[in-house]
Structure 1
């Protein structure tokens, strides 16, 4: 069964759990761009708790833009800021140094379009996990699908759709407890090679 997803900024755990339960991943690239979604944001676990990393983009004030046409703003050094945030949050985690060299180029290479950047993030995570995912991109927009699972709703950053996943050890959980469904980066830095086993063992139990 194919499943349709929006490419997001270092997808959260729910995205990857859903992807691993399908045979083919279809990336939606012809939808209209909406603000305040996981297209431009992800959450990590920092010293003070849940931390939002947000990518600034250039919005059109006149017409709607398709996701594939939205450009990243060049007015902010957000890549430097995000990398420093990851260093601060995870440099004491068990596996940050193990994946650091693979991830650093993502934050040190300029990109023009947010979609291209998010697809690169997905590719790098798959490389870290040594995971092969059959992917393709949509050729046009469809509001609904009859023969494919539609997980595009997971792009909504304001709502949780599934019951909490199993806990794992997080760097600051002694201060703030377990934080559910963060960016897959949190799982990767804390669980390392066990990340894939964890993702495959999780269930999508609707709230």
Structure 2
């Protein structure tokens, strides 16, 4: 099976983890350039008023190009506390919230020097929740030769449709389905808070 080549992500979407579950090995490219308004710095949750994006603040000059491995985090704004408030508001009444909130809080409120360190911490946590044994290989250097790899670095983007290589996740219970219907491409936090230990089975669908 072709090995996927991915960008790093922050509390990736359920579809990110479905892809991980389908492969024994993936490669994360930290040598690629940072891209604004992508899943590299944001995740989406759904609350009573609909979809809400949680965006990480980075330390970078406007227009400056730098590899992902070098992107720092900015704590001038209280985005970690804002993220936790939004997560608690959205999922506080879900069946499994209490089982995951301490681990979410520990990762979000910890201070990291690099964006990549935060991203990898959330990837590891999501895999732990789902019981995934996928080997995650991290490359600090940009990967140009993609022979034998499925290059999906640009495939996951909030404003682009999922490519055919990325299978959509079957609908699962969401706490605000009565208001918004089923909303795909939500954060892995959405799946585990709503479905708990059953999340891995749903993911593999």
Do the structures match in fold with TM over 0.5? yes
Matched length: 201
The within-5 A match list for 1:120-159 is 120-143=121-144, 145-159=146-160
Comparing 120-129 and 162-171, the one that deviates more: 162-171
Counterpart of 2:198 in structure 1 is 194
For 1:50 and 1:192, the matched residues in 2 are separated by 21
Q: Are the counterparts in 2 of residues 39 and 155 from structure 1 also a CA contact under 8 Å?
A: no
2:195 is the counterpart of 1:185: no
Q: Deviations over 1:75-107 (max 9, x none)?
A: 111000000100000010010101122222012
Counterpart of 1:167 in structure 2 is 171
Counterpart of 2:39 in structure 1 is 38
Q: Are the counterparts in 2 of residues 102 and 128 from structure 1 also a CA contact under 8 Å?
A: no
Comparing 118-127 and 52-61, the one that deviates more: 52-61
Counterpart of 2:69 in structure 1 is 68
Counterpart of 1:101 in structure 2 is 102
For 1:68 and 1:80, the matched residues in 2 are separated by 24
Classify the secondary structure of the residue corresponding to 2:155.
helix
Tell me the CA shift for residue 120 of structure 1: 0.4
Tell me the CA shift for residue 108 of structure 1: 2.0
Comparing 171-180 and 161-170, the one that deviates more: 161-170
Q: Are the counterparts in 2 of residues 106 and 121 from structure 1 also a CA contact under 8 Å?
A: yes
Q: Which sections of structure 2, spanning at least 5 residues, go unmatched?
A: none
For 2:187 and 2:102, the matched residues in 1 are separated by 18
RMSD of equivalent CA atoms: 1.6
For 2:111 and 2:148, the matched residues in 1 are separated by 37
| Higher fraction of strand | 2
Classify the secondary structure of the residue corresponding to 2:179.
helix
Comparing 101-110 and 116-125, the one that deviates more: 101-110
Q: Are the counterparts in 1 of residues 172 and 202 from structure 2 also a CA contact under 8 Å?
A: no
Q: Deviations over 1:11-69 (max 9, x none)?
A: 10111111111110111110011111100011001110011111111223474111111
For 1:164 and 1:29, the matched residues in 2 are separated by 25
TM-score (norm. length: structure 2):
0.92
Tell me the CA shift for residue 159 of structure 1: 1.0
The within-5 A match list for 1:14-33 is 14-33=15-34
Q: Are the counterparts in 1 of residues 24 and 133 from structure 2 also a CA contact under 8 Å?
A: no
Tell me the CA shift for residue 126 of structure 1: 1.6
